[in-house]
Structure 1
Amino acid sequence: MSVPRLYLSVNGCLCPRLEPDPAWGDVAKASISVEHGDGHASTRNVHWAPRLITALDSLLMQYGVELVWLTSWNELDATRQLLVPELHGLSGGRMLDVTTPPKNPGQTDGETGLWKSQRIEEDQSVPAPFIWIDDADVQLHGDKVLSATHETPSLLIPPRSEVGLTVDDIARMRTWLEQLPT
């Protein structure tokens, strides 16, 4: 069996819109400045639960899961270059392209995730069991991805964007990974 993949978004998943699931305990915060070039920059104020990052790192290592970043943070490699050092975990990982428009012109709609589902379908041209975590796009485009990858074991998790990934979500991932054929 192929190495399982974790397609992971940042906003609303690792970094919730309000506060992380209280079950994680302490919360860390950072203001991250992203330089876009030509003198343009943006600042993203983020917060996360350090115990969540540790739990994900442990899960990835224990089950040999490949981390695949699938987030708007991939633009300018902000995920690995700016966010990951603040998280003190989830280092490395492969990034799926955020800059190439979707295959079907006219269907690009910014943050609605069509590009994310297409990137998963492209990446699954070499099938591997996968987990897709996204607070909005799993609900919007999860059925499309499942239809395109119907023979591939998969687990789709749409966390509530207000709290991001929960302790229960990590438990679901662990149970699913344990049940994969070896």
Structure 2
Amino acid sequence: MKPLLLLDVDGVLNPMSRPTPDFHRYRCTVGAEVYTVHLNPRHGRRLIDLALATGSELVWATTWEEHANEWIAPRIGLPSLPVIPMRPGEPSEHGEMFKTRHVADYVGGRPFVWFDDQVWAEDEEYLRVHQGLADFLLIHVDPGRGLTSRHLGMAHEWLTLTGFSQGS
């Protein structure tokens, strides 16, 4: 089974502070809401390269859900990706963020790397004690800067050194 590369949007691909000049500004409409996002068109190629090099599958793990395929993917050069369904509003069991349970349900026994700006020790603990999960790496991304080469390198190294990589 291929390892998974799970992607959040806000704070990861769309940094929360003033982005560097290699980011482009977009206004997008989701339902009745209009959002301004800043996206780096190089992120898509770099994520695809990581997935190819490690034999991994890219998956959206974001509250944007299918809207990530409509608004984010084409602007950074990603194809349409599978989406982990997120149902916000369910209470936390042990301080983990609400997305963590959805991720655990989705990944099953597949190893995964999760890029998110809101993963903390409580999320890791929840996942460690969740029955049936394979090994994983949570990569906390600084929401002010977003995804960097360092984050991608951490994922590549972990997938390669742990033997999960099918591309090495």
TM-score by length of 2: 0.84
In structure 2, the residue corresponding to 1:72 is in which secondary structure?
Answer: coil
Q: 2:14 aligned with 1:31, yes or no?
A: no
RMSD after superposition: 2.5
Give the equivalent residue in structure 2 for 1:38. none
Question: What letter is aligned with 1:50?
Answer: P
Within 5 Å, which residues of 2 pair with 1:28-107? 28-35=24-31, 41-74=32-65, 77-87=66-76, 89-99=77-87, 102=90, 107=91
CA distance in 2, matches of 1:48, 1:178: 28
Q: 2:147 aligned with 1:165, yes or no?
A: yes
State the Cα deviation string for residues 41-60 of structure 1 (Å, max 9, x = none).
11110112222222111111
Tell me, which stretches of 5 or more residues in structure 2 are unaligned?
none
Moved >6 Å (runs of 4+): none
Label 1:17 to 1:34 Cα distance change in 2 as closer, same or farther (>3 A). same
Question: What letter is aligned with 1:34?
Answer: V
State the Cα deviation string for residues 121-157 of structure 1 (Å, max 9, x = none).
21233x1110011101345522211332686221110
Bigger mean CA offset, 93-102 vs 54-63:
93-102
Aligned counterpart for 1:118 among listed residues 97, 101, 107: 101
Q: 2:104 aligned with 1:145, yes or no?
A: no
In structure 2, the residue corresponding to 1:94 is in which secondary structure?
Answer: coil
Question: What letter is aligned with 1:175?
Answer: E
In structure 2, the residue corresponding to 1:118 is in which secondary structure?
Answer: helix
In structure 1, the residue corresponding to 2:64 is in which secondary structure?
Answer: helix
TM-score by length of 1: 0.78
CA distance in 2, matches of 1:66, 1:30: 26
Question: What letter is aligned with 2:124?
Answer: G
CA distance in 2, matches of 1:140, 1:85: 33
More helix by percentage: 1
In structure 2, the residue corresponding to 1:95 is in which secondary structure?
Answer: coil
Label 1:166 to 1:100 Cα distance change in 2 as closer, same or farther (>3 A). closer
Tell me, which stretches of 5 or more residues in structure 1 are unaligned?
36-40
Label 1:164 to 1:113 Cα distance change in 2 as closer, same or farther (>3 A). farther
